[in-house]
Amino acid sequence: MNGFRNIRRRLRSERGQTLILGLMAVIILIVGILVLFDVQRVIRGKVKVMSAIDAAALTGAKWQQNTLNLIGEMNLIKACTVLITDPAYGIGGDLETFPGGDDSEKEQLKHSADLLTQMQVRVAFVGPLIGFGAAQQAAKNNGLTYNESCNTFLQEMLSDISSGEYYGNPDIVKQEYYGFRWRVPYAKMISAILGPSDNGTSKGVAVGTNVDYLGMPKLLADRSERPPVTVVNYLQNRTVMEAIAAEDWCILRALLPNNDGIYYQEKWWGNIEIEPSKKSLEGSEILPVHVKTSEGGDFYTRADENGMLDEVIQRIPGREEELKKLGTAYNTGENSDDGKNHSLPELSWSIFDSDWCSYSEYGVDTGSWENYLRGPFQQGVDYRSGALSYFSIRVPDETILRQFEFRRRFQTGKHALRFGGKNNSMGQQINRYGENTENALTYFDDDDFQITFDATAKTLGYLKTEEGAIRYPFIAGMVLPVFEKVTLIPVALEPVYGMPMDDRAWIIYVTKYLPALGKVNNIDDVEGHLTGEEFALCLKYHKLIKDLDNLSWRLRGREWLNAEATGHDVHDAFGNVIGHVTDTTNEDHCDDWRSGGGGNRHGPGKLH
What residues contact 23, with CB distance under 8 A and at least 6 apart?
A: none
pLDDT at 424: 45
Beta bridge partners of 362: none
pLDDT at 343: 52
What residues contact 505, with CB distance under 8 A and at least 6 apart?
A: 537, 538, 540, 541
pLDDT at 419: 40
DSSP of 425-458: HHHHHHHHHHHHHHHHHHHH-STT-EEEEEEEEE
Work out the average pLDDT over 34-44.
65
Work out the average pLDDT over 157-168.
88
Helix (H) or strand (E) holding 317: none
Distinct helix (H) and strand (E) counts, the chain: 22, 17
Helix (H/G/I), strand (E/B), else coil: 392:
strand
Work out the average pLDDT over 167-190.
91
pLDDT tens, residue by residue, 522-551:
999 999 999 999 999 999 999 999 999 898
* pLDDT above 90 for 30: no
Whether 137 contacts 58, CB under 8 Å: no
Per-residue confidence band for 192, with pLDDT thresholds at 50, 70 and 90: very high
pLDDT at 188: 95
* pLDDT above 80 for 41: no
pLDDT tens, residue by residue, 460-497:
999 988 888 899 999 988 999 999 999 999 998 998 88
What residues contact 398, with CB distance under 8 A and at least 6 apart?
A: none
* pLDDT above 60 for 87: yes
DSSP of 146-196: --HHHHHHHHHHHHHHHSTTTTT-TTTS-S-BTTB--HHHHHHHHHHHH-S
Per-residue confidence band for 187, with pLDDT thresholds at 50, 70 and 90: very high
pLDDT at 9: 58
Work out the average pLDDT over 576-596.
81
Write the secondary structure of 186-231 as one string of H (helix), E (strand) and C (coil).
HHHHHHHHHCCEECCEECCCCCECEECCCCCCEEECCCCCCCCCCH
The closest alpha carbon to 40, from 28, 30, 48, belongs to: 48
pLDDT tens, residue by residue, 105-149:
777 777 888 889 999 999 999 999 999 999 999 999 998 888 999
Q: What's the rounded Cα separation, in Å, for the pair 70 and 64?
A: 10
198 or 132, higher pLDDT: 132
Q: What's the rounded Cα separation, in Å, for the pair 458 and 488?
A: 7
* pLDDT above 60 for 310: yes
Per-residue confidence band for 95, with pLDDT thresholds at 50, 70 and 90: low
Q: What's the rounded Cα separation, in Å, for the pair 85 and 475?
A: 29
User: For residue 252, how many other CB atoms are within 10 A of its CB?
Assistant: 19
Angle subtended at Cα 482 by Cα 383 and Cα 346, rounded to the nearest 5 degrees: 105
516 or 267, higher pLDDT: 516
* pLDDT above 80 for 3: no
pLDDT tens, residue by residue, 347-385:
789 999 999 999 999 888 888 888 878 888 888 889 999
pTM value is 0.79
Per-residue confidence band for 443, with pLDDT thresholds at 50, 70 and 90: very low
Query: Which residue type, as a one-letter code, is found at position 405?
Result: E
Percent of residues, the chain, with pLDDT higher than 70: 73
pLDDT at 449: 58
pLDDT at 421: 42
Q: What's the rounded Cα separation, in Å, for the pair 586 and 447?
A: 35
For the ranges 56-70, 224-238, 520-534, the maximum mean pLDDT occurs at: 56-70
pLDDT at 446: 46
Work out the average pLDDT over 239-264.
81
Helices 183-194 + 104-141 axis angle, to 10: 20
Q: What's the rounded Cα separation, in Å, for the pair 307 and 245?
A: 55
319 or 128, higher pLDDT: 128
